[in-house]
Amino acid sequence: MNAHEIDYQVFGEEMQYVEIELDPQEGVVAESGSFMMMDSPIKMNTIFGDGSNQEKGLLGKIFSAGKRILTGEGLFMTVFTNHGHGKSKVSFASPYPGKIIPIDLSEFGGKFICQKDAFLCAAKGVSVGIEFSKKLGRSLFGGEGFIMQKMEGDGMGFIHAGGTMAKKVLQRGETLKVDTGCIVGFTQDVNYDIEFVGGIKNTIFGGEGLFFATLQGPGTVYVQSLPFSRLAGRVLSMVPKNGGDRGEGSLLGGLGNILDGDNKF
């Protein structure tokens, strides 16, 4: 195997974290900000690129780092390696409420495609790169733009889905229509495209966007009920423009703002 063979356990319900058990000299790579805790024999090291064994020399590392820039990620990743003589554990936490999904790349033909912000961590040796869309409509209206992220190799990777996660196994020719932001990831055999909602009333008053994604089997698709963009949009919509308290749920809230001088005329 190219990737390190790791053991893991997922804890929690709404705010999950994954605990990874490493044998001596085994390692795991993760995005910045996902680390939670680790045993003392484990050491962390910032690396240039994704840390996969496919990188050859300085040019390979520069190319790998360049791919990460295109996906909106940073130049560097962090690798956690067990330098002890026995098993040690390191944990990574979800960035917001949802579910952590273990992906065994050896079961999916060595490749899995996901949203660029869904990746959490992976066994060292798994390559984290970009997946270019070859269709113009998907690139312009797919919600994730021209680029999605991919994991390649034969090890374990972990992605995060917001809210409740749904796993759909599509048979050959079977099609699933999904809101573009609700896609977490899918296997490489799934045919992913964009379809116009259609209809004047749907377009103007539907409130669900102009396009949805069509995913055609065979393959496995993971769907999330709460994309981070939707969560952020709801939070921002509740922030008062003047920075004061909106008094949510109370008729006296607005009056209170007037009385205490928060509202200016």
Q: Name which of 145, 168, 130 is nearest 49 in CA terms.
A: 130
* Helix/strand/coil for 138: helix
Q: What is the pLDDT of residue 218?
A: 95
Q: Residue 87 pLDDT more than 70? A: yes
E strand or H helix that includes residue 225: none
Q: Can you give the length of the chain in residues?
A: 265
* Mean pLDDT, rounded, of the chain: 78
Q: What is the pLDDT of residue 207?
A: 47
Q: Pairing between strand 119-123 and 219-224?
A: unpaired
Of 168-172, 195-199, 232-236, 242-246, the least confident: 242-246
- pLDDT single digits (tens) 215-264: 999 999 999 998 876 666 667 777 776 655 555 554 445 545 544 455 54
Q: What is the pLDDT of residue 83?
A: 96
- pLDDT single digits (tens) 8-45: 999 998 889 999 999 999 999 998 788 999 999 999 99
- pLDDT single digits (tens) 112-157: 999 878 899 999 989 888 887 655 455 555 455 456 888 999 999 9
Instruction: Report residue 74 as tokens.
Output: 């940073």
Q: What is the pLDDT of residue 51?
A: 62
Asked if 79 and 131 count as a contact pair (C-beta separation under 8 A), the reply is: no
Q: Is the pTM of this model over 0.85?
A: no
Q: How many CB atoms lie within 10 A of CB 13?
A: 7
Distance separating the N- and C-terminal Cα atoms of the chain: 69
Identify the band that residue 213 occupies on the pLDDT scale cut at 50, 70 and 90: confident
Count Cβ atoms within 10 A of the Cβ of residue 244 and give its class: 0-12 exposed, 13-18 middle, 19 or more buried. middle
Q: What is the pLDDT of residue 212?
A: 80
The residue among 168 and 236 whose pLDDT is bigger is: 168
Q: Residue 204 pLDDT more than 60? A: no
CA dihedral 91, 96, 100, 101 (to 10 degrees): -140
Domains belonging to the chain, first-starting first, are: 7-229 (3.60.160.10)
Long-range contacts formed by 205-209: CB under 8 A, 24+ apart? 208/179, 209/179, 209/180
Please give the average per-residue pLDDT across 92-107, as a whole number: 93
Query: The sheet that has 35-38: what strands, in order across it?
Result: 7-11, 17-22, 88-93, 35-38
Instruction: Report residue 127 as tokens.
Output: 């390559």
